[in-house]
Structure 1
Amino acid sequence: MQKLPSVNVLGGVLEPCSMAPRTGFFRDGLCNTCFEDAGSHTVCAVMTAEFLAFSAYVGNDLSTPRPELGFAGVRPGDTWCLCAGRFLQAWDEGCAPRVRLAATHARALETVPLAVLRECAEG
């Protein structure tokens, strides 16, 4: 698998999203992606209890630890590389988490309009 260039939605160098917990399709702490990343794990988001409950409800429980997979679970306040489609779905439902634009991969723009990402941006 070949990583796509590490460019963020603002056109700059992709910044780290989270090393603890280690996130990303490649588990490299960045929302890097490749053509094999069908879910497009490209949106760096700050988790909220509301979003985590929504994600579990729609079938992706990010909170429950899975030690057999080396996954400790995600908690409110953690940052995590979300699938672009799931982020957009959460936005449509009114429970999208905050986004770190400099750590969100440009490929997210294939699914999520920049205006939506800016609306949800931190700060």
Structure 2
Amino acid sequence: MARNVLGGELQSCSTDPMTGFTRNGCCETDAQDVGVHTVCTRVTAEFLAFSAGAGNDLSTPRPEYGFAGLQPGDQWCLCADRWVEAHAAGAAPPVVLEATHARTLEWVDLADLREHAVDPR
């Protein structure tokens, strides 16, 4: 059973839009997930602009990949290193701790995640 950063059972991040490295709604990870998509975020317009500027446009629909594009307020499993970059730039999106995989703590201090914590939906 996968664990979250609080030590409990990993909760679902989002099924609408469907997220997660394996697209099962959870921020689970495995050896094939080189991006480490473990941080359950609630994206903001500021973060989406930051991400696009960093070369990862998450707002534009990509129907060829079954991706409708994210809107502010959507929950999404974000790469741990991208969250760290956004945090350093002052653009980190809020985090749902219960749905953020424990492996995130290899990149991010729990205190930083708690500063950006929001209640699960």
| Category of TM-score, reference length = shorter chain | over 0.9
Q: Deviations over 1:28-70 (max 9, x none)?
A: 0000100111111000000100000000000000000000111
Letter in 2 for 1:120: H
Alpha-carbon separation, structure 1, partners of 2:23 and 2:2: 14
Partner of residue 114, structure 1: 110
Find 2:96's aligned residue among 76, 100, 109: 100
Q: Normalising by structure 1, what TM-score? A: 0.94
Letter in 2 for 1:41: H
Partner of residue 70, structure 1: 66
Alpha-carbon separation, structure 1, partners of 2:69 and 2:42: 14
Alpha-carbon separation, structure 2, partners of 1:26 and 1:106: 17
Percent identical among aligned pairs is 62
Where do 1:1-123 residues align within 5 Å? 5-122=1-118
4+ runs deviating over 2 angstroms: none
Alpha-carbon separation, structure 2, partners of 1:106 and 1:74: 24
Q: CA deviation at 1:113?
A: 1.1
> Unaligned stretches of 5+ in structure 2?
none
How large is the RMSD of aligned CA atoms in angstroms?
0.8
Alpha-carbon separation, structure 2, partners of 1:99 and 1:71: 21
Q: Deviations over 1:76-101 (max 9, x none)?
A: 00000000000010000001011000
Letter in 2 for 1:71: F
